[in-house]
């Protein structure tokens, strides 16, 4: 189909003025990709798809949503009511809202798989350090966008989640309280907070779109890693992106859409994991919910925060747990990339994946003495994984790498 479009007179006219044909050929149709990429390499294109879906559904939601915490005659607030109106009165409003709310969680599912793939196959290592660093920036912006978005329905969890997190700034010495007040727009979460968060929630995905452009550009300069983690030297080790990976990505998209549609149509709450039940209760600043927890994709970091008695230490550890991702490419000194050829790293990285799930579980659950200790051990391993990386090459005996693929 693309071939047919590229043969039209209109395309020839555009090409003469933009060089579009050369760009499409070098960046898409004839872009060389390793011939052995497995399905773990589908998550990049899926992340792109979900980003587009989030922006599109978000644009429609904004047409009806009202960012105001003022009370209505019914005793609720304008924001809460506008979300209920979207669900009940707007044509297909329920669909657009569920696509967006489920899409937020699916975005993190896909991006966490994408990051996990990068960790397992050593895609963060030279020459892809900058590509990885841009990825970490993307992750932080995604987390910010999700956090800001969660306040918008102005439910109990929206309100108290934002209160807990914005209060954390107070722990930062000197400037902390000032930053907190600037973000909240006062001394407590209220109408100005909702307006600020709404504005940032709109801005962040657009920022994401621009940064993802940079991410893909950086990828196309250094090219994809592959499951063997080796550099490719022979032309026969590569295949053109189109039709081989366009069709493989399309298969991944179809598979993903099956899951996504199932959840959107049949189970949008996902047992309270994707949309918390407490958030169907309107925000009440006089009634603290029994258990406040962020949505599942933020709970690993919430556990790290809660693992320390001192608020300042907790905030510092949570910041460090994200910041350490930036320096990962420089911590890992082994010459071998893929975990397939690194027996010790393979065990460590699989344990790391389990560890993050444990951290997530602890953060989601109501705190108990046992879970607190489990969370503290999991937090310790989270950091140990990164701290141990520079020393690993000293005692890890890597397996011999293949000559080619």
Contact pick of 123, 166, 279, 338 for ligand HEM (by CB under 6 A): 123
48 binds ligand HEM (CB under 6 A): yes
225 binds ligand HEM (CB under 6 A): yes
Dump the DSSP string for 197-266: HHHHHHHHHHHHHHHHHHHHHHHHHH----TT-----SGGGEEEHHHHHHHHHHHHHHHHHHHHHHHHHH
45 binds ligand HEM (CB under 6 A): yes
238 binds ligand HEM (CB under 6 A): no
Q: Which is nearer to ligand HEM, 131 or 194 (CB)?
A: 131
- Enumerate the β-bridge partners of residue 238: 34
Site string for ligand HEM, 191-210 (x = CB under 6 A): -----------------x--
Q: Which is nearer to ligand HEM, 13 or 244 (CB)?
A: 244
**Residue 291 labelled as part of a binding site:** no
Q: Which is nearer to ligand HEM, 139 or 188 (CB)?
A: 139
Rounded to a whole number of angstroms, the minimum distance from the CB of residue 378 to ligand HEM is 20
Q: Which is nearer to ligand HEM, 14 or 137 (CB)?
A: 137
Q: Look at strands 238-240 and 32-34 and give their pairing.
A: antiparallel
Determine contact, residues 80/290, Cβ cutoff 8 Å: no
Residue 32 belongs to what H/E stretch?
strand 32-34
Determine contact, residues 131/215, Cβ cutoff 8 Å: yes
Query: Which residue has the closest beta carbon to ligand HEM?
Result: 135
Q: For residue 255, give Cα distances in angstroms to 58, 113, 265.
A: 23, 15, 16
215 binds ligand HEM (CB under 6 A): yes
**Residue 242 labelled as part of a binding site:** no
Residue with tokens 């489990």: 374
Residue 186 belongs to what H/E stretch?
none
53 binds ligand HEM (CB under 6 A): no
Rounded to a whole number of angstroms, the minimum distance from the CB of residue 212 to ligand HEM is 5
Helix (H, G, I), strand (E, B) or coil at 91: coil
Eight-class DSSP state of 399: P
Rounded to a whole number of angstroms, the minimum distance from the CB of residue 291 to ligand HEM is 29
Residue with tokens 């918008």: 152
Eight-class DSSP state of 282: B
115 binds ligand HEM (CB under 6 A): yes
Q: Which is nearer to ligand HEM, 72 or 143 (CB)?
A: 143
**Residue 215 labelled as part of a binding site:** yes
How many helices (H) and strands (E) in the chain?
16, 2
Stretch 125-164 residues interacting with ligand HEM (CB under 6 A): 128, 131-132, 135-136, 138-139
Rounded to a whole number of angstroms, the minimum distance from the CB of residue 137 to ligand HEM is 8
Helix (H, G, I), strand (E, B) or coil at 309: coil
Q: Which is nearer to ligand HEM, 44 or 58 (CB)?
A: 44
Rounded to a whole number of angstroms, the minimum distance from the CB of residue 103 to ligand HEM is 12
Buried b (16+ CB within 10 A) or exposed e, 52-64: ebbbebbebbeee
Determine contact, residues 358/153, Cβ cutoff 8 Å: no
Determine contact, residues 142/111, Cβ cutoff 8 Å: yes
Instruction: Copy the structure tokens of residue 362.
Output: 């602890």
41 binds ligand HEM (CB under 6 A): yes
Rounded to a whole number of angstroms, the minimum distance from the CB of residue 139 to ligand HEM is 4
51 binds ligand HEM (CB under 6 A): yes
Determine contact, residues 196/336, Cβ cutoff 8 Å: no
Q: Which is nearer to ligand HEM, 154 or 301 (CB)?
A: 301
Q: Which stretch binds ligand HEM (CB under 6 A): 107-115, 190-198, 253-261, 297-305?
A: 107-115
Choose among 275, 272, 298, 299: nearest CA to 99: 275
**Residue 364 labelled as part of a binding site:** no
Q: Which residues are annotated as a binding site for a ubiquinone?
A: 220
Residues engaged in binding ligand HEM (CB under 6 A): 41, 43-45, 47-48, 51, 111, 114-115, 118, 121, 123-124, 128, 131-132, 135-136, 138-139, 208, 212, 215-216, 219, 224-225
Binding-site residue numbers for heme b are 100, 114, 201, 215
């Amino acid at each position: 189909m693309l071939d047919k479009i590229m043969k039209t007179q209109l395309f020839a006219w555009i090409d003469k003025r933009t060089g579009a044909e050369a760009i499409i050929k070098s960046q898409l149709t004839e872009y060389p990709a390793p011939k052995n990429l497995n399905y773990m390499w589908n998550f990049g294109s899926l992340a792109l798809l979900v980003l587009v879906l989030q922006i599109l559904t978000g644009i429609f939601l904004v047409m009806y949503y009202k960012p105001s915490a003022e009370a209505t005659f019914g005793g609720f607030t304008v924001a809460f009511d506008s979300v209920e109106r979207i669900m009940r009165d707007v044509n297909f409003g329920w669909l657009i809202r569920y696509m967006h709310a489920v899409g937020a969680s699916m975005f993190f599912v896909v991006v966490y798989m994408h990051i996990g793939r990068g960790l397992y196959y050593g895609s963060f290592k030279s020459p892809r350090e900058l590509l990885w660093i841009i990825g970490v920036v993307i992750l932080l912006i995604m987390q910010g966008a999700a956090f800001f978005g969660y306040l918008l329905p102005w439910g109990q969890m929206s309100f108290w989640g934002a209160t807990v997190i914005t209060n954390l700034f107070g722990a930062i010495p000197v400037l902390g309280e000032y930053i907190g007040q600037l973000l909240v727009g006062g001394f407590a979460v209220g109408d100005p907070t909702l307006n600020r968060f709404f504005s940032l929630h709109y801005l962040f995905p657009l920022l994401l779109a621009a940064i993802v452009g940079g991410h893909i550009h950086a990828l196309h300069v250094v090219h994809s890693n592959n499951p063997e983690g080796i550099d490719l030297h022979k032309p026969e080790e590569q295949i053109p992106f189109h039709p081989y990976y366009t069709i493989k990505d399309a298969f991944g998209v179809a598979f993903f859409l099956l899951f996504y549609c199932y959840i959107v149509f049949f189970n949008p709450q996902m047992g309270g994991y994707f949309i918390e039940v407490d958030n169907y209760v309107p925000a009440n600043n006089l009634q603290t919910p029994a258990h406040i927890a962020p949505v599942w994709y933020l709970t690993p970091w919430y556990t790290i925060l809660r693992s320390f008695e001192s608020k300042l230490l907790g905030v510092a550890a949570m910041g460090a747990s994200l910041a350490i991702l930036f320096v990962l490419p420089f911590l890992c000194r082994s010459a071998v990339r893929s975990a397939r050829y690194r027996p010790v790293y393979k065990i460590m990285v699989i344990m790391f994946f389990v560890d993050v799930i444990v951290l997530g579980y602890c953060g989601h659950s109501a705190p108990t003495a046992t879970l607190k200790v489990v969370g503290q051990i999991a937090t310790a391993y989270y950091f140990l994984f990164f701290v141990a990386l520079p020393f690993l090459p000293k005692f890890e005996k890597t397996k011999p790498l293949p000559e080619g693929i």
